[in-house]
Amino acid sequence: MLQTPVPILEAKDVEVARNGELVLQGASFSINKGDYVGIVGPNGGGKTTLILALLNFLPKTKGSIRLFGTDIDKFSSWEKVAYISQQATGFDKQFPLTVKELVSLGCIRKGNIGRRFKPEDWTAVDESIRFMGLTDVADRRIGQLSGGQKQRVFVAKALARNPEIIFLDEPIVGVDSTTQEKFFKKLSDLNTKKKTTILLVTHDLTSVFCRMSKVMCVNKKVEVAQITDVLDPNSLLKRAYGDHFHFVFHKHECSGVFENDGS
């Protein structure tokens, strides 16, 4: 018997303005528990603005947003939500924390500030590090890691709090294509094995249509489509990028794993 999808995030007629200019209009969509959503669109189209509005970091000028069935303005269960921004890894190379110490910060929440970590907290930290393939570098300082490793550390930090939904805003900028593919593979594992709902802003269209369950095209307006064998990516993407756009999709699977790869 098929289960009815459970909406975890709902937007209706959302409009957002920045600096007096309308950036998003008429955004209406529903994201279900367990969805893996690729957010794509041209630069300046409003992808980051959408993420910030969904997290209530930016005020909407119109419409409604609901997280876990609660209006965003009244929502308080933020321990269920994790966010990794574009600037997450942009810190000083002399940053003194080790991987394990940084990941442990993910266990700190409103109700436990100031108390000593319990054994189950450290278990969650170790499990997050293991899941993201970082056990071998757990005691290294963050500044000693490669770009790909740093990205995974911040996902591990988010996982330590066991969120139900994760927002990532272009988390793989500046790393090579092989590392990007392996990073997407770990997110796929997170989605399939832990049933975590993921919304990811990216320019890697091949990974979106290869790995993800939904695509969200953003260019002032927002269009969401289920990724199936019958979906025509070009007709969908042209509505966001323009008629000149042509996408050549080569379906592939990544068999790479994170074991002493240095990425």
**pLDDT tens sequence across 9-67:** 999 999 999 988 999 999 999 999 999 999 999 999 999 999 999 999 999 999 999 99
Cα-based torsion angle of the residue sequence 6, 52, 101, 120 in order, rounded to the nearest 10 degrees: -20
> Into which CATH architecture does domain 7-241 fall?
3-Layer(aba) Sandwich (3.40)
Q: Is residue 244 predicted with pLDDT exceeding 90? A: no
**pLDDT tens sequence across 131-160:** 988 999 999 998 888 888 888 898 899 999
Q: What is the pLDDT of residue 261?
A: 44
Q: What is the pLDDT of residue 54?
A: 97
What's the pLDDT band for 95 if we cut at 50, 70, 90? confident
Q: What is the pLDDT of residue 112?
A: 57
Q: Distances in Å between the alpha carbon of 95 and those of 56, 85, 189? A: 29, 18, 29
Q: Is residue 113 predicted with pLDDT exceeding 80? A: no
Q: What is the pTM of this model?
A: 0.86
CA distance 207 to 250: 10
**pLDDT tens sequence across 222-240:** 999 999 989 888 888 998 9
Tokens linked to 178: 């092989």
Q: Is residue 218 predicted with pLDDT exceeding 50? A: yes
Q: What is the mean pLDDT of residues 101-116?
A: 75
Vertex 23 angle, CA 20 and 24, to 5° = 130
Domain-wise residue ranges, the chain:
7-241
